[in-house]
Amino acid sequence: MHLIRVVMPASERDAPVTENADLQSVLDRAAQGGRITPEEALDLYRSAPLHALGSAADAVRRRRYAGTEHIATYIIERNINYTNVCVTACKFCAFYAPPKDTAKGWTRDLDDILRRCAETVELGGTQVMFQGGHHPDYGVEYYEEHFSAIKKAFPQLVIHSLGASEVEHMARISKVSPEEAIRRIHAAGLDSFAGAGAELLPARPRKAIAPLKESGERWLEIMETAHTLGVESTSTMLMGTGETNAERIEHLRMIRDVQDRTGGFRAFIPYTYQPENNHLKGRTQATIFEYLRMISIARLFLDNIAHIQGSWLTVGKEAGQLSLHYGADDLGSVMLEENVVSSAGAKHRSNRMELIDLIRKADRVPAQRATTYEHLLVHDDPANDPVDERVVSHLSSTAIEGGTAHPELKLVEAK
């Protein structure tokens, strides 16, 4: 796998960095670490040449991580999809089943979930993402039971899961406040929120694709509550469902404002809408260049969020690799199991050795990280690279052909 080259049109290659002196001054200020306004961010996102935008974002990344700027990280994790039954019916989702569709709907029992956790530990995974539908019967008690069982059996696993939408749903089912729900699931074992359910936070695009979900303002309010209770999270954005450029920047603005108050968002992770098997039917999609521009503008605009993560799962491995030159410092995960975006058409697969190779060929030193981004293992010598061929993405996937439960793996004993 080789890094792909971005060949700009001759007219753009030969032009000055920007034709607009004011735009150039904004780009220079952003590259030097100065704060930019949403209006300035929108101008840069729309008009700055791609190579200039990426160069400025990379300068910010190198300054922020001075001393370790040569390192790019990845994590080994597993998405455990506990149910596909969901009352929300988001238009971009190909994973969910309506509650009355008993032929399509399913729920994993606790023993099955614990077996998947055991397999994760066996393969060197450090994190699980508990991810599923908004089941009409699952309140706070369901998550308390499952998180406490996972932590009891596998205290070494970090439970980085759910988001504000699940909190809003479980609190309503159990007739408690979101604050109480967060306190209880955190006490049961939840370590941090994965930022699920953000999609697009501005009202118009959110109502268009997820009309039954809480508002973007409510999503952020619940995340802010979690941060004040000591439960950190990541933040995400779904690109390509028909939102405007201005709405993309407004999404970033809404996140940055909360981060100014709480400091609880560890990372920002944009990913692209997948067009198969859902109601949107691929009528609108984000291009690779739009995605790379978003990675860069996020690094420049979100001056208060530490990490920007590339999404090889949705944009492909080569574009994910390119994101490391456009402001990203993390290449995501070897995702041992993933069924949600894969159900909508994301068929990219990888393994630990390939991710290490992708990072190294981007002229960075690979490092396996923890959920909180500490370096667990720095691969500074290729001679010592791991060679375990079992550590592959989608080893247990119902959405990608070839996914298997790997029954030959030996389960670790609970400790």
DSSP H helices, 48-139, are 50-64, 110-122
CB atoms within 10 A of CB 179: 15
Phi then psi for residue 390, to 5 deg, are -80, -20
Q: What is the mean pLDDT of residues 138-145?
A: 97
Q: Which of 223, 171, 227 is nearest to 198 (CA)?
A: 223
How many angstroms separate the CA atoms of 46 and 69, rounded?
28
How many angstroms separate the CA atoms of 138 and 149, rounded?
16
Q: Is residue 160 part of a domain?
A: yes
With a CB cutoff of 8 Å and minimum separation 6, the contacts of 167 are 178, 181, 182, 185, 222, 226
Q: Is residue 263 part of a domain?
A: yes
Q: Are 73 and 51 in contact (CB under 8 A)?
A: no
Q: Is residue 402 part of a domain?
A: no
Which burial class, exposed, middle or buried, applies to 97 when counting CB atoms under 10 A from its CB (0-12, 13-18, 19+)?
middle
Q: Is residue 337 part of a domain?
A: yes
Q: Is residue 333 part of a domain?
A: yes
How many angstroms separate the CA atoms of 216 and 207, rounded?
10
Tokens of 202: 């501005």
User: 100 pLDDT band (50/70/90 cuts)?
Assistant: confident
Q: What is the CA radius of gyration of the chain?
A: 21
Q: Is residue 291 part of a domain?
A: yes
Q: Are 33 and 349 in contact (CB under 8 A)?
A: no
Domain region containing 354: 64-384
Higher-confidence position of 415 and 363? 363
**Counted domains in the chain:** 1
Q: Which of 401, 406, 384, 309 is nearest to 347 (CA)?
A: 401
CA distances from 250 to 94, 154, 228, 286, 305 (A): 26, 40, 23, 17, 16
Q: What angle do CA 70, 337, 330 make, to 5 degrees?
A: 15
Q: What is the mean pLDDT of residues 58-79?
A: 96
Residue 89 sits in a domain of what CATH number? 3.20.20.70
Write out the H or E segment, with its range, that includes residue 379.
none
Beta strands 307-308 and 375-378: pairing type?
unpaired
Q: Is residue 24 part of a domain?
A: no
pLDDT in tens, 309-341: 998 877 888 889 999 999 999 998 887 765 544
Lowest mean pLDDT among 70-79, 101-110, 186-195, 290-299: 101-110
Q: Is residue 166 part of a domain?
A: yes
Q: For tokens 């190779």, what's the residue?
A: 357
pLDDT at position 344: 42
Lowest mean pLDDT among 4-13, 81-90, 225-234, 293-302: 4-13
